Amino acid sequence: MSLLSGELLEEDIELTLAELCRVCQLPAERVFELVDEGVVDPLGREPNQWRFQGISIRRVRCVQRLEQDLGVNIAGAALALDLLEELDQLRARLRRLEG
């Protein structure tokens, strides 16, 4: 699917497990680990029903960079990702309050 070759970050875009694996170049087993650690949160009960929001691509890639560049394990990368997102939210809130 050529649509998946670019960055998809809109939250209304949904990807299947296979599509997320293809876009992020990961095996399904690795995505299962990311789900277990809370890096991505699929919609649906079973893996064959899972749908991931487009933002999952950014989250997975960020974790990959943290692991590769800093040697952080998956749990540490998940925590760092949560903290980075919280920091972004606080900065956005501060900009709104100052503006």
Q: What is the pLDDT of residues 80-96, one digit of tens each?
A: 999 999 999 999 999 99
Q: Is the dihedral of CA 17, 21, 23, 24 positive or negative?
A: positive
- Residues whose CB falls within 8 Å of the CB of residue 38, separated by 6 or more in sequence, listed in order: 78, 82
In the numeric block, the tokens 């050529």 are attached to 2
11 pLDDT above the threshold of 70: no
pTM reported for the whole predicted model: 0.79
9 pLDDT above the threshold of 60: no
Domain boundaries, the chain: 2-98
**In angstroms, rounded to a whole number, what is the distance separating the alpha carbons of residues 91 and 77?**
21
User: Taking the domain 2-98, which CATH number applies?
Assistant: 1.10.1660.10
pLDDT at 81: 93
Please, which pLDDT band fits residue 73 given cuts at 50, 70 and 90? Answer: very high
Q: What is the pLDDT of residues 30-47, one digit of tens each?
A: 999 999 999 999 999 999
